[in-house]
Structures are given as C-alpha cells and as structure tokens.
A = this chain, B = another copy of it.
Amino acid sequence: MIRIQKEKHIELIVDVLTKIGLTSEQAQMASEIMNYADVRGIDSHGLILLNTYIDRINKKIIRKNPNYKWDKKSEIISVLDGDHGMGHFMGHLAMREAIKIAKEKSLGLVLVKNATHYGASGYYTELAAKHKMIGFTTTNTMPLMAPTGGAERILGNNPISFSIPRQNEDPVILDIASSVVAAGKLILVNQKNEIIPEGWALDKEGNPTTDPNEGYEGGGTLLPIANHKGYGLALIMDILAGVLTGSGYGKNVGHSDIGFVMMAMDVDQIMPKEIFNKRLDSLISMVKSTKKGNENNTIYLPGEIEYLKKKEREQDGILINENLYKEIEKLTLDLEISIDNYFS
C-alpha cells in the first residue's frame, strides 16, 4: 500500500482533470468529492474511478465544458439541466441551490437531469448538514437489479442518503445503496477466486448463485435489500431521479443521462435549534447506550465509521493499493505530469 496525503490527493485529481480539458470549476468539485470518499474509506467512489471518468470524458459521454441551464418551477423547486457535465459539479451546484432556497423558504428541492455519475451521495447531504439543514439525495444509476421475480437488469441500485445536523458533533449521515452489496464487491471476490453468500445476487437466469462472476460480470443481477422492499425503494428513487427530472430511467439509464434529487430543510425554521439539538442528543444517547448483544460490539451511528476513518486518514494519509498506484503512474506519465509532485 502507498500513502498519499489528503491535500496532494486533491491536487492530483484537479491537475489530471484540468490537463485533459475539464473546466477548472468541474475539476475542483470532482476532486473535492472523490477526496471526500477516499478520506472516509468509501474507496469505491474515490481515486479508483479517475480512469473511468477520463475514459468517459474522452468519449464525450461527460462534456468538458457543459452549458448547464436552470429552470425554476416554483419558489421552492428548480430543475438543473446538467448538459452531460461532470456529475459532482452538477450535484454540488444543485444541493447549494436547494440550501439557498431552504434558507429563504424553509425547504428547497432541486432536480437534476442529463448529468453523469455524482460519486458519494453522503457528500451532498453533509453539505446540507453543514448549513444546519436536514439533507436528502438520491440518484439513479446503471441498471443492475431486477424487480422481484425477474432475471434482467431493469433498475439501478439507487442510493438513499439523509443527513441530520448536530451541534458540535459530526452529523448523522445515512448513505445506503438499495442492493445488498455493491457490484464492486462481487468483482473483488471474483478476483480472489472466492464465493459469495447466497442473497447477494442472482445469475442471468434468475437463480440464486454463490459464483461472483455469474452474479455480476457474467450478466446476473444484484439482489435488492429485503427483496421486494429494496426493489420498491429502487423503483421509487428511479421515478423521482429519472422520470420526474426528465433524465434517463429504468434499463435505459446511460452514463450521460443520470438524474439526481437534492432536498434541504432548514431545521431552525421548524423547531428552534437549541430544542432540536437537545432532543436529537437525547435520542442519540439512547442509541449509543443501548444494551449490547455482546460486550465487544460497538453501536455506531450512520456515518460514524466513515468519520473515524476520516480522522485516521487526515492524519496518516490515504492508502492506495499497488494496482491503483500503477494506473495513476501510467496516467500521469501519459499526461506528462510528474507523479512525484503528489506521492513523496
């Protein structure tokens, strides 16, 4: 494993994305949000995706210089047409606008269409929490799951994220996919020639499988959480993020017509923040002091494990595996950027 410091990780991504021609504002935001993920141990949404994004930029699936447009639907709802620009930038812009609306109107809702992959959902809801707001986001994704009873990829494992602001404490951040596990997990198990537990995926005929290849790369479908419940959640999220925004939906979602939903609610306009904070602290203290099933168990709040990782990585740097380092080495070499500027 090789270490890269948090600030250098950001610089590296900005320099690479700017060099290939992405606007500086898009490069900055993609970098910040990929950094958010890697610092918190959400490695599936960080540096590991850089080559994928570059490939999509080169193929014009992601536009280097999008001409994004706003369409105000009401005092509290706006739609952002991302013109196929970088999802991270559009997502940030959208949540910032939702927060701005909420500041004035108590609640703001922004729908985004024609965008691309936005990375870690938690980034956007955390942004709302930083403004003392409750945040919500979802996005649709490439189809990976079948409706219950089916054997064909129709719905993404569309995530749901909520954040709750706290006083003097990290916010509560829920960020969950609607599949039991991420596709990346099956790829990883497959690389190790191991098997997966039943309940993670079906093969392409719709049968339960313990073969990670049949479950994903071989054309299978990921299983939704709690069967019909996860299927239902994924469908509703697709209706909100895909159908209602004006973006792609269902099995037709492509890498360049992804939709998002961003919502912010200003706590202080609903309940004085001193009272809200006191009540929230009291609930959280009930949760944290729950009698444990086993004395070695720890009761974590949603997002807490990621904050613990953040503390560690902000101090010690982000760990990159050998393969990823080699990829980055090749990438920087091709772009005539000196990798020594970042890893030292």
Contacts and interface: CB of A to CB of B under 8 A. Distances in A.
Given A150-B297, A244-B271, A299-B149, A106 B174 contact: no
A1 interface: no
Contact of A292 (B111, B150, B230): B150
Contacts of A287: 147, 154-155, 235, 250
Nearest to A202: B293
Interface in A217-271: 225-226, 228-233, 235-236, 238-240, 242-244, 246, 249-252, 265, 267, 269-271
Interface string A123-153: 0000000000010000000000011111110
Contact of A290 (B73, B154, B270, B279): B154
Contacts of A225: 225-226, 229-230
A118 interface: no
A228 B226 CA distance: 12
Contacts of A269: 73-74, 77
B172 A235 contact: yes
B151 A293 contact: yes
Contacts of A279: 243, 249
Instruction: Pick from A73, A155, A239, A293 the residue with the most CB of B within 10 Å.
Output: A293
How many copies the complex holds: the figure is: 2
B246 A271 contact: yes
Contacts of A105: 74-76
B206 A270 contact: no
A232 to B, nearest CB: 4
Nearest to A298: B149
Contact of A164 (B107, B160, B239): B239
A287 to B, nearest CB: 5
Interface string A190-227: 00000000000010011100000000000000000110
A99 to B, nearest CB: 15
14 contacts: A73-B270, A77-B106, A107-B109, A111-B270, A149-B290, A149-B299, A164-B236, A172-B235, A172-B236, A176-B233, A202-B293, A206-B291, A243-B283, A252-B286
Interface string A270-313: 11000010011011001100111110011111100000000000
Max chain B C-beta neighbours (<10 A), residue from A76, A290, A297, A298: A290
Contact of A299 (B73, B147, B267, B298): B147
A97 to B, nearest CB: 15
Given A74-B106, A164-B236, A283-B243, A293 B207 contact: yes
A13 interface: no
Contacts of A249: 279, 282-283
Contacts of A250: 282-283, 286-287
